[in-house]
Amino acid sequence: MSIVRYSKDHEYIRVDGDIATVGITNYAQEQLGDVVFVDLPAIGKTVAAGAETAVVESVKAASEIYAPVAGTIVEVNSALAATPDMVNADPMGKGWFLKLKIANKAEVDKLMSEAEYTDYLASIS
C-alpha cells in the first residue's frame, strides 16, 4: 500500500517501498495555470531533499520542482514532453514528474499528511 505525503512547496510524493513518485498538487497546478513545458532531470541523478529537480513552465510563470526527500532518480515521466497539460488534467495521477529511490526513509515522516496539508492550505489562503 502506498502512502502520500506533501511538502510546503506543494509537491507530493507517493511512496511504494523505497520508490517515491513525485509531482505537484492540484493546488500547485491551479496556481500555475496552463502548463506548456516540463524540463525533467536525468535518470541516475542524485538529489538532496529540497534540491531543484525539474522545472515546469506555464502561461503564467516558470516554477522549480523540488525533491521532497533525498534520493536517486530512477524514472521520469517522458510523456510530459509531448503532453505537458497532463500536469493540469491529472496532477496526482498521469501528471507525475519523476520517481526516485529514497535515500533516507525517515525524511518521508517529516512531510505533511493529507490532513496536515489541507490545514496548511487553509492557513495560506
- What per-residue confidence (pLDDT) applies to 30? 95
- What per-residue confidence (pLDDT) applies to 104? 96
State which residues form the domain around 15. 3-124
- How does pLDDT run across 6-34, given as a tens digit for each residue? 999 999 999 999 999 999 999 999 999 99
Cell 531543484 belongs to residue: 52
Q: Mention every residue, 6+ apart, whose C-beta is less than 8 A from residue 113.
A: 5, 6
Residue 72 sits in a domain of what CATH number? 2.40.50.100
Query: Is the full-model pTM beyond 0.85?
Result: yes
Sheet strand arrangement including 52-58: 35-39, 52-58, 62-66
- What per-residue confidence (pLDDT) applies to 41? 97
- What per-residue confidence (pLDDT) applies to 125? 78
Rounded CA separation 79/86 (Å): 9
What sign has the CA pseudo-torsion 94, 120, 5, 9? positive
Cell readout for 100 is: 526516485
The total of structural domains in the chain comes to 1
Low-confidence ranges of the chain (pLDDT < 70): none
